[in-house]
Structure 1
Amino acid sequence: MMKHTLLLAGLGAALPFATLASDATSQDNSLERVTVTGSNIRASSKAKTNPVQVISAADIAASGKSSLPDVLRSLAVNSGNSFNEQYTGSFSAGTAGISLRGLGQRNTLILVNGKRVSNYATAQELQETFVDLNSLPLKAVKRIEILKDGASAIYGSDAIAGVVNIILYSDYQGAELGASVSRDASTGQNERQFNLLAGKGDLGQDGYNLWFSFDAQKRDRLDQTDVSWLKDNDFRGQPGGSLVRNVTNYYNGNPVQRFPNAIGPLQDTDYGALNPGKSGRVWAYNPAQYTTLMPGIERYHAALHGSYRLDAVTEAYAEFLYGASHSNQIFGPPLSVTSSLRAWNAATQSLTSISNVLPAGNPSNPNAGPTPISATLFDLGQRDKTDSVSFRRLLAGVKGSGDKWDWDVSGLYSDSRLREYAYNFVNRYAYEKLLASGGYNFIDPAQNSAATKDSLLINTLRPAWYRTASFDATASTELAQLPAGPLGFAAGYQLRREMMNAGTSAAVTSGTELRPALDLINGARNVQAAYSELSVPLLKSLSLSAAARADHYSDFGSAFSPKLGLRYQPLQSLTLRGSLSKGFRAPSLPEITHSTAVSYGSVQDPYDPITPNQSIGYTHLVVANPAIKPEHSTNANLGLVLSPTADSSIAIDYYRIRQKDVIGLEDVDNLVRNPGAYPGQVVRDSQGRLQTITQQFTNLGNRETSGFDLDLRQSWKLAGGRLTLAAQWSRLLSFRQPLQQGGALQEGAGSNLLGALPRWKGQTSASWDNHDWSSTLTWFHTDGYTQAFSSGADDQSRVGSSNTFNLSASYKGVKRVTLTAAVQNLANRRSPWDSHAGIYYDSSQYDPTGRTFTLGVQYKLD
């Protein structure tokens, strides 16, 4: 049945091309018709039923933001569950994504000029395949269109929450270059940028246009010790806060049975200050010195675009995007030898326990019999990591616009490649040999020779890549002239190949590396899709849009996605719009294909024999599920736009999204508290301490979310210039999903139970333009939310709200020169305290930077 559906839809998509010959002599190229994100039919932008937010190049410049992720992640519709390079413990460190409606990066589709780009080389959160915004250029961006309702019927699987379409210049003449420098006055972090844009040729007069852009960015690494309020790791004055220290160097699993002397950064510490109810003295160190909050980065982006007029109505085009990114960070402290020490067993695809027991007679063993230890190998130095990423996209095609048909045929190849280097990890076989022989001194590392230390150290390389290749064909026309206007039609066909291969180092696969982290993914699939669309003017004031898409995935099967929309304009100043659609998200390659991940986390363990109900580290083993089903969604949107004058507008849009068979992992806290319900998934050592949790991706159940967006704009002539007030706010009404398979829906809106999901998020700006001067003041607000993990009266019950202000200004009074200045976080506000976040603020919403000053200059050549 699916084959017949695809065949019929494909024939409908191909039908327009049979009539292209009759268009060859036409020169009717209406400049009033445009293609807006969410439709393939060219029409007046006012005729659209979709809520689309447009950010122009001028808006980007006025924001003072220095990168594409900074621009997009500050939007109100990026409401939660997205990550950027602050997520340093990730397999996708150094990346940045966007999550419309809080539904995760995997449900937001990123396009460039309406066409796909490759996903990042590895998966975020072990399952999310996503586009790394850090790989995309900023200088070449003409505007960004954010489609806020689901668009699976037009674009496919990953557009459930919406679409971000980054539109580059279609042509450019002239040249300009610029540079800027920034400094965070609070942390001392510096950033430098350079950009260039140059183009030649007028497509209409010369028959061609060619332009090139380049931008570069370099930013210092920011460690926890660089941030004044975080560096001491003493939060006993905060609700739910404590003195944060890592306890180590002790015998028999008992921290007060400590080694005879402090070594490295260890300090004599009261055990009760770290763990209420305990007594005695322990060795502990401040982990802030081994924590990177934002990696140091160097990024380069280049874009080359060419257009060539073949005849009066036909144009050939090609586009090449390239991005290179290098990031460096502290991966973590030196390796600790504990009972949770593991190595990978490739034969069984599982972890093998490695002994932490000192044999009798070992120089570091004070007892007559074998003695387990917990020890940090400070003399080996901190573990570091660097990531090198390259991104490419090559697009070539031919398009035409005649008096009957508009059409576009293109081919695309895009890939993302990662080479991750890790330094100062430990060789398992050298460690076992030295443990057995007594050749390594744990209690006095100063006695260890350079040769001994060198024998323990290994450096590793983790490679990964993701590739996308596709063929696309679309066409649109006006089928008939109805009394209320033209009947618009569009159809298209897409054939796409996706491949992903995330590997690991030979040191891991051979079992050589101690405490390995790995995310092995190897899969590929073919995707075919055919889609069509109608725009029907029912009355002069009422129009209907309809779309349908049939997809076939080689790894799970088929899906059908319809969409209906209505637009009603009873008054010149009032427009009502609404849409109803069905969509789906195909399981990502990590979720459905051959994949295995080993990572490390922490959880409050009520059954721990030493520190019950305290945060305990564990090893997390996650595997794919070939039998998993795709997610399906139903999206409903209803809105109005009121424009009483040309200088004012008010838009309100309500949305509701319901997803079925949401893919995920069951809540780890529940697994630990109810081990009987999950036999074999929770493994403990001989003392009863948590070691390993094993999980498989599953269809958890349904997810429901709803809310509304406000978009307000008003401008006035003032003092010879123009003052514009603008606001974009999003209100989250509900966000519910289960924590376990088949479990009851849990409400996450206004809490951090399902990721930080504030009920209100928005930005309000005041811009003033007067001849050569312009300035913008922007207020960013993120609502507070309930602390879902509060464990008692002394713990934090609510995470506070955030209000920050940015100020930017520019001056164009010097010929060909634009001078800019900006201050981010004008009042030097800290991120809200979160006692249960890994770094005590939620990095999906905030960052640790303070008041940051930027100075820039742009120079335009004739």
Structure 2
Amino acid sequence: MPLSKRSHLLASAILVAASAPALAQNQPTITPNAEAPTPQGASDSGAIIVTGTLFRNPQLSNPSPVVQVTAENLDARGISTIQEGIQRIAANNGPALTNSFTANGAFASGASAVSLRGLTTNSTLVLIDGMRAAYYPLADDGTRNFVDLNTIPDDVVERIDVLQDGASATYGADAIAGVVNIITKKNFKGFSGRAEGGVSSRGDASQYRLSGTVGIGDLDDKGYNAYFSGFYYQQNPLYNKDRPYPYSSNNFSNVCYNGTCGTPGSSVANGLDRNGAYTGFNLTTPSTPFIVAPADAATGARVDGARYQQLAGCQGVPGYSLTADELAANPSAPTTVCPQDYTNEYGLIAPKIRRYGATARGTARYGDTGEVFAEFNFLQTNTEVTGYPATIYANAPAGFYFPRYSTRANIPFYGNNTVLQLPVYVCPANTVGACTAANGTLNPNNPFAAQGQTALIDGRLPNVTNRDYTRTRAYRGAIGAHGTLIGDWTYNVNATAMHEDLRRRSTGYVYIQHLLDVIKDGSYNFLNPSATPQSVLNYLAPDAIAVSTSDLDQVDANIAGKIIDLPGGPLQLAVGGAVRYEAVDSPSLNSDINGGTQRYFTLNGFATKGHRTVYSAYAELNAPLLKFLTANLSGRYDKYPHGIDNFSPKAGVIVTPIKNLALKGTFSRGFRIPSFGESSATFPTTGYVGATKNIYTDSFLSQYGCSLATYTSCPTYVTGATYGATSLSNPNLKPEKSRNFTGGVSYSPMRGITVSADYYNIRKTNVITTANNAPAILAYYSGEAIPAGYTVIADAPDVNHPNATPRIAFVQSGFINANTLKTSGIDLQLDANRTLSPNVGVYFSGQASYILKLETVFPDGSVERYDGTLGNFNLTAGSGTPKWKATATAGVRLWQKLDINGTMNYFDGYDLSAMDQGTGYKDCGLDDGSLPCRVKSYVTFDLNVQVKVTDKTTFYATVQNIADRLPPIDTITYGANGYNPVQGGEGIYGRYFKAGVRFGL
């Protein structure tokens, strides 16, 4: 959409909202939701947003299952941020995106997202006050659009409604698995503040929180209210070295089960495992310090029989001399290696996060029933991730070998490509062409220069360290009005505009052409890196900076009212329409469009750009046919560009055969529009998948002196492999379609106690996916022709087996509409709140979600099942889909001044298999034998105590994970080191203390 058209949309929204008061008629004020607790200093006036329906009466029964989490609930559990509270929702499962993923190479670095039902982040719709929010500028894995939970201002949130049902008929695309609706405060008077600090029992991972809110006026008494709120939050980093083994090392050789131990791990590169055994020589895992080998200056080939050697000794790292057997088994390896555990030295568990923001809101009433509001939010999130020393691989990114030397001024010479090497001669900067005896001098970095040989080189730069920074700024404005139109008919008009800009800065990544330049002129001192001038380091690893943006503008208006009276009550109808504009512009941080050397070594190059305008019309009918029977019908039509449209119907029913018993059911159809990354990526996305023995064949492994039966004896070139799954965009994709059924029962045996159970069944068709890479992988390792639609790119050959078929580096395939995804499960909930005496009250709130089945059906009829396993591995980063997830809080209130609360958090175990990685269902196929087949379930307990010292001052303290239980060991998951980042994302902190004060005036 052109800018002028977008501006016209915003102008129209302001005009509609501003003119709305003229429509008001005299009508009684709608009763607010009496069930919603009122936060300190706030009033519940005007709190009439009802999630999942167009009707604004909060007493209206909803056939869909809804879980409500209030700010008071979060305080009772000691939860500091809305992001953390949403991540703990029982129905949030599978490929959720936590803040810890930022420290472990997430595509959508700096963000957090929810995934209801295990259906990924793109099937859960996140709303703010019933209105859509802008997507995070980076998509999850470069494909899945989502709303960043870190852009939610914590201290103005009144409650979170989680609609655990398809809601496309009301809200449109993306609401397949459910809706998370963030409800902000509507009315606040006086002043309240909060100060909080936290630290682990080990003295690390501290956090701080400060906030304040001030408000004037009162909607009920004065007819207006305005408030301003600001907050600051900081979380300090946590490093792998701060936690015990195996979380502190990528070497899992001491993780043993029934006599079988794990693999040494690539972080002990070209070195030793924890038992002192040599791990094998592997150039694809660069080591520190540098290693070199002599090569023929004319051909670039390693001299026959020559071994690699340390360029300048181990430089303070304890060395290890290989035995005769180890030398024989590794003919290219140095005689002495310098083992280092990079995960222990540099690994990061959780990043540094700093968030701050402000909210301003004004609300006013007009006439007897009308109400108008305007709200503005600003929030900034900064993350900082420290990584490993920068790499200079022996070969460049797959499919590309280095030019023999620098090609300054784009004038190539010598013409051959080879592995990275130091030349015989170096010459002054800006010299065009080859360095020779005539224009240069012998290379002081090359120990073989005097013999006229080049030096093949591999290693890490000890004085250049990878660091990644993100800065997200979110700006959101919203205006709206509601009131009575005429008679029993009301109107509701809302408009919102939201803009996010994400600035990514990556430092310490080697730029390939600049590396070739400093090698040619000798300005980088490989013998003594610390002697290299800072100016050379800056040139070698210039900052990579990209600014990505995301926008959403929306206008939504509807009217609702009574048509006739039915035996059970009034027949109500609501109709409305909406128009929204959404856009994403995310340029590549590391494009190679100018050539293979005009890029960095390891930064992901994904990029996408797109925009669209969506027009919608919708309606809802609520029919209380009898006193005990209510039916609800709704539908929505959405029109997208390029001829794409969709109609989403929904039907629900509520039956109350006896008092306090309700039977509910819904049937709906929904859809998900292809994301910008799936349909219009300007640079493809690549996700790296850990290779397992299941992808290999005996014929391939025989070239390396091993087999599937003796896989653990294969060289690390094979066992330590990963391959890049590259997904190519497709502008001809169709929307995913869904069918959703829920059925449930809710029973209140006595006042203050409610128990409910709900069944859900979801089927998605036309699921957007890349074609299953298994046929291409199998064909490659079997020596057969690659099937049509795939491109397989081989990695550099193994230096110890140069004539063997190289392993796979990349598999490329385009997105297609192909699969059917099915899931079903049960949600359980129990809430109790009882007063035992004037001085004693007890309460309990518990939710549990159980996945019966989650599976993908492919066009050929084959099925992959994931529930209870690490699948869908490619979507979940190996964090899996556990069957059970539950949380429960029990508490007692004494003398209306002392609250003591205990919370249980349960995350189910799972089998170490994933059918999308070639294993059977629950066959332990990803386990190398060093772990039990099933990772243990994980339970933690928290304790929170709140003491009310005055009417407006409360001191509180929380101990999370009282038993100091660290997460179960899982060496297969690659989203974290040695544990599951979703299962143990908070548990890895161990016992954690928080204390704070809430106060007011």
| TM-score > 0.5 by shorter chain | yes
Residues 23, 405 of structure 1: 8 Å contact kept: no
Report how far residue 196 of structure 1 moved: 1.0
AA of the residue aligned to 2:903: T
Report how far residue 780 of structure 1 moved: 0.6
* Structural mapping, 1:199-348, within 5 Å: 199-229=215-245, 230-239=247-256, 241-244=262-265, 245-247=268-270, 248=287, 249-250=290-291, 257-263=308-314, 267-268=318-319, 282-288=337-343, 289-341=345-397
Report how far residue 421 of structure 1 moved: 1.0
Unaligned runs of 5+ in 2: 1-15, 34-47, 271-286, 294-301, 403-415, 426-442, 705-714, 781-785, 914-924
Q: Once the two structures are superposed, what CA deviation does each residue of 1:123-175 show, in whole Å capped at 9, x if it has no partner?
A: 11111111111111111111111000000000011100000111011111111
Structure 2 CA distance for aligned equivalents of residues 295 and 360 of structure 1: 43
The alpha-carbon distance between structure 1 residues 589 and 296, as it changes in their structure 2 partners (threshold 3 A), is: same
Q: Which residue of structure 1 lines up, in the alignment, with residue 829 of structure 2?
A: 711
Q: Once the two structures are superposed, what CA deviation does each residue of 1:673-726 show, in whole Å capped at 9, x if it has no partner?
A: 333336523333354243333232222410000000000123443463111122
Q: Which residue of structure 1 lines up, in the alignment, with residue 973 of structure 2?
A: 837
Q: Once the two structures are superposed, what CA deviation does each residue of 1:192-228 show, in whole Å capped at 9, x if it has no partner?
A: 1011122111223322111122121011111212223
Report how far residue 331 of structure 1 moved: 3.6
Structure 2 CA distance for aligned equivalents of residues 572 and 113 of structure 1: 32
Report how far residue 417 of structure 1 moved: 0.7
Residues 30, 57 of structure 2: 8 Å contact kept: no
Q: Which residue of structure 1 lines up, in the alignment, with residue 843 of structure 2?
A: 724
SS of corresponding position for 1:570: coil
SS of corresponding position for 2:85: helix
The reply on whether 1:812 has 2:948 as its aligned counterpart is yes
Which stretch shows the higher mean deviation, 623-632 or 252-261? 252-261
Q: Which residue of structure 2 lines up, in the alignment, with residue 557 of structure 1?
A: 644
Which stretch shows the higher mean deviation, 695-704 or 152-161? 695-704
Report how far residue 459 of structure 1 moved: 1.1
Structure 2 CA distance for aligned equivalents of residues 297 and 471 of structure 1: 33
Q: Which residue of structure 1 lines up, in the alignment, with residue 503 of structure 2?
A: 419
Q: Once the two structures are superposed, what CA deviation does each residue of 1:590-642 show, in whole Å capped at 9, x if it has no partner?
A: 11114323546253273575546412244554321111121100000000001
Residues 228, 361 of structure 2: 8 Å contact kept: yes
AA of the residue aligned to 1:856: G
Which stretch shows the higher mean deviation, 709-718 or 624-633? 709-718
If the length of structure 1 is used for normalisation, what is the TM-score? 0.91
Residues 489, 535 of structure 1: 8 Å contact kept: yes
Which of these residues, 884, 904, 915, is aligned with residue 760 of structure 1? 884
Structure 1 CA distance for aligned equivalents of residues 22 and 536 of structure 2: 80
The reply on whether 1:514 has 2:608 as its aligned counterpart is no
Structure 1 CA distance for aligned equivalents of residues 970 and 529 of structure 2: 37
Structure 2 CA distance for aligned equivalents of residues 671 and 331 of structure 1: 33
Q: Which residue of structure 1 lines up, in the alignment, with residue 759 of structure 2?
A: 654
Structure 1 CA distance for aligned equivalents of residues 997 and 401 of structure 2: 53
Structure 2 CA distance for aligned equivalents of residues 623 and 631 of structure 1: 18
AA of the residue aligned to 1:287: Y
Which of these residues, 696, 708, 732, is aligned with residue 627 of structure 1? 732
Which of these residues, 778, 782, 787, is aligned with residue 677 of structure 1? 787
Structure 2 CA distance for aligned equivalents of residues 25 and 458 of structure 1: 64
Structure 1 CA distance for aligned equivalents of residues 734 and 216 of structure 2: 50
Q: Which residue of structure 1 lines up, in the alignment, with residue 25 of structure 2?
A: 25
Structure 2 CA distance for aligned equivalents of residues 344 and 532 of structure 1: 60
The reply on whether 1:40 has 2:91 as its aligned counterpart is no
Residues 596, 622 of structure 1: 8 Å contact kept: no
Residues 341, 353 of structure 1: 8 Å contact kept: no
* Structural mapping, 1:711-860, within 5 Å: 711-718=829-836, 720-738=839-857, 742=860, 744-754=862-872, 755=876, 756-770=880-894, 771-788=896-913, 789-838=925-974, 839-847=977-985, 848-860=988-1000
Residues 590, 605 of structure 2: 8 Å contact kept: no
The alpha-carbon distance between structure 1 residues 116 and 450, as it changes in their structure 2 partners (threshold 3 A), is: closer
SS of corresponding position for 1:246: coil
- Root-mean-square deviation over aligned CA pairs: 3.1
- Between Structure 1 and Structure 2, the one with more strand by share is 1
The reply on whether 1:645 has 2:750 as its aligned counterpart is yes
The alpha-carbon distance between structure 1 residues 620 and 32, as it changes in their structure 2 partners (threshold 3 A), is: closer
Q: Which residue of structure 2 lines up, in the alignment, with residue 349 of structure 1?
A: none
The alpha-carbon distance between structure 1 residues 464 and 255, as it changes in their structure 2 partners (threshold 3 A), is: farther
SS of corresponding position for 2:508: strand
Structure 2 CA distance for aligned equivalents of residues 448 and 35 of structure 1: 62
AA of the residue aligned to 1:462: A
Which of these residues, 133, 158, 166, is aligned with residue 174 of structure 2? 158
If the length of structure 2 is used for normalisation, what is the TM-score? 0.79
Structure 2 CA distance for aligned equivalents of residues 439 and 836 of structure 1: 42
AA of the residue aligned to 1:110: V
Q: Once the two structures are superposed, what CA deviation does each residue of 1:560-591 show, in whole Å capped at 9, x if it has no partner?
A: 11001010000002110000001110001111
AA of the residue aligned to 2:30: S
Matched length: 836
Q: Once the two structures are superposed, what CA deviation does each residue of 1:654-690 show, in whole Å capped at 9, x if it has no partner?
A: 0000000111234556643333336523333354243
The alpha-carbon distance between structure 1 residues 450 and 300, as it changes in their structure 2 partners (threshold 3 A), is: closer
SS of corresponding position for 1:471: strand
The alpha-carbon distance between structure 1 residues 700 and 291, as it changes in their structure 2 partners (threshold 3 A), is: farther
Q: Once the two structures are superposed, what CA deviation does each residue of 1:486-509 show, in whole Å capped at 9, x if it has no partner?
A: 001111111111110001358866
Report how far residue 187 of structure 1 moved: 5.4
SS of corresponding position for 2:446: coil
The alpha-carbon distance between structure 1 residues 378 and 594, as it changes in their structure 2 partners (threshold 3 A), is: closer
SS of corresponding position for 2:100: coil
Residues 735, 748 of structure 1: 8 Å contact kept: yes
Structure 2 CA distance for aligned equivalents of residues 506 and 51 of structure 1: 45
Report how far residue 256 of structure 1 moved: 7.1
Structure 1 CA distance for aligned equivalents of residues 115 and 21 of structure 2: 44
Report how far residue 186 of structure 1 moved: 2.6
Structure 1 CA distance for aligned equivalents of residues 497 and 961 of structure 2: 40
AA of the residue aligned to 2:995: L
The alpha-carbon distance between structure 1 residues 736 and 651, as it changes in their structure 2 partners (threshold 3 A), is: same
SS of corresponding position for 2:166: coil
Unaligned runs of 5+ in 1: 1-15, 346-351
Residues 566, 626 of structure 2: 8 Å contact kept: no
AA of the residue aligned to 2:792: Q
Which stretch shows the higher mean deviation, 48-57 or 668-677? 668-677
Which of these residues, 558, 563, 566, is aligned with residue 479 of structure 1? 563
Report how far residue 250 of structure 1 moved: 4.2
Structure 2 CA distance for aligned equivalents of residues 37 and 623 of structure 1: 37
The alpha-carbon distance between structure 1 residues 399 and 795, as it changes in their structure 2 partners (threshold 3 A), is: same
Report how far residue 792 of structure 1 moved: 4.1
Q: Which residue of structure 2 lines up, in the alignment, with residue 195 of structure 1?
A: 211
Structure 2 CA distance for aligned equivalents of residues 371 and 791 of structure 1: 43
Residues 461, 504 of structure 1: 8 Å contact kept: no
The alpha-carbon distance between structure 1 residues 285 and 341, as it changes in their structure 2 partners (threshold 3 A), is: farther
The alpha-carbon distance between structure 1 residues 405 and 238, as it changes in their structure 2 partners (threshold 3 A), is: same
Which stretch shows the higher mean deviation, 366-375 or 680-689? 366-375
Residues 395, 413 of structure 1: 8 Å contact kept: yes
